[in-house]
Amino acid sequence: MSAFSGRRFRILAWSISCIALLGILAWAYRRYVLMHPDPTIAWVRYGITYELLNPKMLGVILIAPWFVGVLSQSLADLPLPQKILSVFLRVAFVVLLGLGLSRLARTATTEKVCTVYLVDVSDSIADEAIADARALVDHAWAEKPKDGIVKLITFARRPRLAEPNEKEPEKAPTIERHADAKGERGELGAGTNLQAALQLAYGLYPSGYLKRAVLLSDGVQTDGDFLAEANRAKDFGIRLFTVPYRRPAPPEVAVRDLRLPDHVKVGETFEVHADIYASRATTAKAKLYQSEALNGLEGIKDLTLKAGSNDVVFKSVVRVKGATTYKLDLEQIAQDRFPENNRYATTVDVPGRPVVLYIEGTPQHGQPLSSALTAQQIDVDMRPPAGFPGSLKELQRYDFVVLSDTPKEAVSIEAQDLIEQYVRDLGGGFLFAGGESGYGLGGWYHTPMERMLPVRMDNERKKEMPSVAMSVVIDRSGSMTGLPLEMAKAAARATVGVLSSDDLVEVIAFDSTPTRYVKMQPARNRSRISAEIARIQPGGGTEIFPALDAAYQDMTVTQARKKHVILLTDGRAPSGGIRDLVSAMIAESITVTTVGLGGDLDEQLLKMIADVGGGRFHAVSDPTNLPRVFTKETEMIARAAAVEEWFPVTQVGDAAFLRGLDIRTAPNLHGYVSTKMKPTPAQELLTSDSQEPILARWRVGLGWALAWTSDVKSQWAVEWLRWAGWEKFWGQLVHEHMRQKHTRELDMKAEVVGGQLHVAVDAFGADERFENNLTSSLKIIGPEFKSDELDEAKDAKNVKQVALRQTAPGRYEATLALDKYGSFLLRAEHKHEDKDGLLRPVAVSYGHVSNPYPREYASFEPDLVTLEKAAIVTGGAVDPPTVAAVFDPQGEKVTFHEELWPRFIYAAIAVFLLDLLVRRVRLFDRKFIPRGGPRSRAPRAA
């Protein structure tokens, strides 16, 4: 019974201790392995880091209690110490295997080096340079240390790992330019991506090796950012050496840029600059195409190029609005390697033809100017004064306004204000042209128009003077009784009516003595003057001299620029003293015109008076014609601000639009309206022989105001119409002074960097605040489009539309890849949501970019700075002197995991053998000294 209880007790004790052992082990396993925060367990001992890479495998130790447990039921005929030793050895065996399975590793250091050679084989590299690279790589293969590894990548647009030849694995792989499977090179060499080459290298370094890279290149990259990548390579522990190619650039001619002015106008000549690079001095023929045809002004040029950059200038003019593509082709180049870069295209967006509003007082005579402007690619909208636009918005459609030969009365004050606003605020151009109703003649004195023009309409000294003093001297002799006198009175009234208000007028009626019915007074008192004229009654004889004398005396004391007497008579009168009197009058600039009524006249006398008096003689048979004759005569006189004579025009000022026009070859003009220049900054450009302005200009606010004091019609400018420079003169004048912008344009910056188009638009409001919340879209049109695609652009194949995203207050940006070569037009439209939630356009932006050909063909000079900086940033150097220098660890060591599991297996084998020894050889109790007391259960013999 006691034995049974003893056995039970033993089983119980064994079980408990086994379970306890299992519990302790399980707890420790959970606590230290499963609950460990890291997937591996590491510790440092004597400066060496030990790490269990797969600590969960330590779980196999949990089977240790099994061995202890089995021991309790052991039938083996072994002494107890030996049994205990055996179980210990077996547990040690399991622990060793467990440690092996959990992959104990320690960090170890090594100085072995793996070097990747990166060889640039892009198209811009000369064959000699590649041969140099081949020699260098072969050398490296031969000289590398035995424990070193060397690999080779060749790269152009994309990198490739060059595998060693299977037959000769000890030799360096061959360096070839890249070709596809069919052996064709295509565009594989048309680019250099240093960054991708370096990235491919990262994946080639085996662990446990120091990382070195040797880059053989010209450093000119077309994609990626090598310097930034070199900085990253440093993080991977790569030390980069660079070997710049030192061979001279191959003979090469490349068009690097084709520059056009920012703003090109239809019909205006401008310069196209081509930047042509030549690696050495050579010759070539350049053809400039405008759209599809050769450039009209200068299409072909034979070039003598010097080494380096050459600036070649072409003159051109665009005749049609819209997008115009200029393409420069170089041909017959003496020495050239790549044809790709001999062509460059750039596109300019030429705004539509300028529109001129031409207000002509006598539209039937407006043809000459209208045709001249049309011939100069300018659209002309000719209207009579009554058709003047009623609002600034309507006026805004025009680039230039001409107001020609229109009397003040025909243009409302509102219209004049509109013109001023148009010029001052909208930057419009305005030309005021003379004629019989221009300037003073049209009553423009003291009007907003005069304020705006660079000329004064009368000179300062005579400021307070009326322009005309008119003395109407009427015969009231008996013979005039009846209709003649009534008609004479009507004629006098008509005269007063024609005169402007400030003009002076007097009416003297005479028989044998003169009577001043209307004393010298301003013509504005028309009703009173009319009443006074009505009082004239027929009288007696006819005495001309006293009447003329009276008029002379009145005129002498009157101040007027133009003094004129009209003498009407129907009979004969003594002529004594009249000649002297008229001579005295003309000496004082008093002119006399005579009108003879009826057939019984002293025609000779009247003619003499008119001739001497600088006037005209009119013989009138029908008295009803008198008012017409008087009116005409008055008009002639009132117009006397006009200088009607042939005179040459002299250029006195310089202006851009006069370039290419020789004014000296211009014919004479036949009249102008006399004006005076205003002081500086008014600029006189053309002058008459009497130094009075013919053409003057100045700036008014944002725009220009010009004064042309002659006319633009076949009256005064009749000879000019036949001048060869007539059309050009007006065309260039309008082009230079016309309004610059139709709509608000926001500044657009566009550039192509690494094949990516980056567009940024800055939007500032009128108050210089940022303009936010615009809905902006950008159209990228191109390459190689026709201008008619612009308007129907939505469906066209080569039009892309992207949204510009607001990235900062007032800034809108977009970035997209340009996957085609050519020239691209950029148009952005900016809309703003109004109160009703509708999007209304507020501004536009224009730009253009060229992506002419792969950048590989643009530059043939090595970028030594980048190569040097990249080497320095990684701790490498430029031009390592020897292969040993590359493979020199330079004190650097790489730590790697040395896996220790095989050692545990060795140990396990040893323990296993030991365990076997312990079990097969009786080590203890060899003499079989019986232990005290009989054994309860005799072991069976083996």
Partner 1 sequence: MHFTGVPLQTLIQIGALAGAAIVVFYILKLRRRPVAVPFSKIWQKILRDKEATSLFSQLKRLLSLLLQLALLALLLLALGDPRTAANLIEGRNIVVLIDGSASMKATDVGPSRIESARERVRAMVRGLSGSDRMLIAQMDAAVTPLSTLTGEISELEAGVAAVKASDASADFARSLRFAADTLRGLPSPEIIVVSDGALSEAADAAGPVHLGEIKLSYVPVGMRAKNAAITGFSVRRYPLDKSRYEVMLEVTNTSDEAMDVELSLIGDGQLTDLSRLRLNPHEKLPRFYPNLSGASKTLEAKIALGDGTRDDLPADDRAYALLPERRRARVQVVTTGNMFLEAALLLDEYLDVTTVDPAKYPAKGAYDVTIFDGVTPSVAAGSGSLLYLNPTGTNVPFEVGALIDDEVGFDELDAKSPLLRYTALSDVNIARAHLLKGEKDDKIVARSFKGPLLIQGRRAGVKFVALGFDVRESDFPLRIAWPLFLLNTINEFVEEDVGYISSFRTGTVWSIPASSASESATLELPDGSKRSVPIKDGRAVFLGQEAGFYKISTGTPQPGAAEDVTMFAANLADPEESAIAPHPKLEVDGRAAGDVGELKIGVRREMWVYLLLAVLLVTMLEWLTFHRRVTV
Residues in 239-278 at the binding interface with partner 1, rule: CB under 8 A = 261-262
Q: Identify which of residues 293 and 942 has a Cβ nearer to partner 1 in the complex.
A: 942
Shortest Å, Cβ 101 to partner 1: 6
| 2, 5, 73, 364: which one binds partner 1 (CB under 8 A) | 73
Tokens of 705: 């105001």
Token pair listed for 118: 């990166």
- Contact of 768 with 802, CB cutoff 8 Å: no
Measured distance CA(940)–CA(84) in Å, rounded: 20
- Which residues sit opposite 240 in a β-bridge? 213
Give, as ranges, the residues between 531 and 560 that touch partner 1 (CB under 8 A): none
Contacts 24+ apart (CB under 8 A), 13-20: 14/68, 14/69, 14/71, 14/72, 15/69, 15/72, 17/68, 18/65, 18/68, 18/69, 18/72, 19/65
| Residue 565 vs 700, nearer CB to partner 1 | 700
Q: Which residues ranging from 321 to 360 are in contact with partner 1 (CB under 8 A)? A: none
Beta-ladder partners of 676: 456
Single residue of 174, 553, 691, 807 touching partner 1 by CB under 8 A = 807
Q: Which of 888, 897, 898, 900 binds partner 1 (CB under 8 A)?
A: 897
**Which CB, 326 or 901, lies closer to partner 1?**
901
Q: Long-range pairs for 689-694 at CB < 8 Å and ≥24 separation?
A: 689/647, 689/648, 689/650, 690/643, 690/647, 692/643, 693/454, 693/455, 694/649, 694/669
Burial class (CB in 10 A: 0-12, 13-18, 19+), 245: buried
- In the region spanning residues 683 to 712, those forming contacts with partner 1, defined by CB under 8 A, are 683, 698-699, 701-702
Distance of alpha carbon 638 from alpha carbon 560, whole angstroms: 11
| Binding to partner 1 in span 720-779, by CB under 8 A | 736, 740, 747, 749, 754-756, 762, 764, 768-770, 772-773
205 or 314, CB closer to partner 1? 205
CB of 202 to partner 1, least distance (A): 5
Which of positions 488-527 make contact with partner 1 (CB under 8 A)?
none
Q: Which residue, 146 or 920, is less far from partner 1 as judged by CB?
A: 920
Per-residue exposure over 362-390, b if at least 16 CB sit within 10 Å of its own CB, e if not: bbebbebbbebbeebbbebebeebeebbe
Q: Quick one: which of 19, 23, 77, 801 contacts partner 1 (CB under 8 A)? A: 77
- Return the SS3 of 584: helix
Q: How far apart are the first and last CA of the chain?
A: 28
Between 311 and 331, CB nearer to partner 1: 311
Residue among 311, 409, 751, 788 that touches partner 1 (CB under 8 A): 311
Question: What span, in angstroms and rounded, lies between the C-alpha atoms of 785 and 230?
Answer: 41
Least distance from C-beta 905 to partner 1, angstroms? 5
| Interacting positions 822-881 with partner 1 (CB under 8 A) | 865-866, 869-870, 872-873
Binding residues for partner 1 restricted to 195-224, rule: CB under 8 A: 196, 199-200, 202-207, 223
Quote the CA–CA distance of 113 and 242 in Å, as a whole number: 17
Strands 590-597 and 614-620: parallel
Q: Please tell me whether residue 655 binds partner 1 under the rule CB under 8 A.
A: yes
Number of residues that bind partner 1 (CB under 8 A): 116
Give the whole-angstrom CA distance, residue 698 versus residue 672.
20
The strand pairing partners of 847, in sequence order, are 826
Given candidates 167, 680, 794, 795, which one binds partner 1 under the rule CB under 8 A?
680
Question: Of the listed pieces 72-80, 167-175, 455-463, 622-630, which binds partner 1 according to CB under 8 A?
Answer: 72-80
Q: Is 100 in the site for partner 1 (CB under 8 A)?
A: yes
Q: Nearest approach, Cβ of 730 to partner 1 (angstroms)?
A: 18
CA gap 92, 98 in Å, rounded: 10
User: How near is the Cβ of 82 to partner 1 at its closest, in Å?
Assistant: 10
Closer Cβ to partner 1, 572 or 742, answer by number: 742
> Quick check: 257 and 274 in contact, CB under 8 A?
yes
As measured in angstroms, the least distance from the Cβ of 120 to partner 1 is 15
CB of 699 to partner 1, least distance (A): 4
Give the nearer residue to partner 1 in terms of CB position, either 535 or 659: 659
Q: Among 328-336, 348-356, 359-367, 924-932, which window interacts with partner 1 (CB under 8 A)?
A: 924-932
Q: Structure tokens of 206? A: 């085996």
Among the candidate windows 238-246, 398-406, 577-585, 932-940, which touches partner 1 by CB under 8 A?
Answer: 932-940
Considering only 11, 24, 44, 76, the residue that binds partner 1 (CB under 8 A) is 76
Residue whose CB is less far from partner 1, 601 or 908: 908
1 vs 921, beta carbon nearer partner 1 = 921
SS3 532: helix
Q: Do strands 468-475 and 400-404 pair parallel, antiparallel, or not at all (unpaired)?
A: unpaired
CB atoms within 10 A of CB 414: 11
Cβ atoms of 750 and 849 within 8 Å: the answer is: yes
Residue 365 or 744 having the CB closest to partner 1? 744
CB of 75 to partner 1, least distance (A): 4
Contact between 142 and partner 1 by CB under 8 A: the answer reads no
Structure tokens, 766? 């009128």
Which residue among 29, 67, 545, 723 contacts partner 1 (CB under 8 A)?
Answer: 67
Of residues 47-66, which lie at the interface with partner 1 (CB under 8 A)? 53, 57, 60, 63, 66
Q: Which of 192, 48, 146 is nearest to 106 (CA)?
A: 48
Q: What angle do CA 560, 563, 564 make, to 5 degrees?
A: 155
Q: Does 656 bind partner 1 (CB under 8 A)?
A: yes
Nearer to partner 1, 131 or 228 (CB): 228
Contact positions with partner 1 (CB under 8 A) in 157-196: 157-161, 163, 191, 196
Residue closer to partner 1, measured from CB, 510 or 901? 901
Contacting residue, 21, 818, 864, 900, with partner 1 by CB under 8 A: 818
Report the sign of the C-alpha dihedral through residues 574, 576, 578, 579, in that order: positive
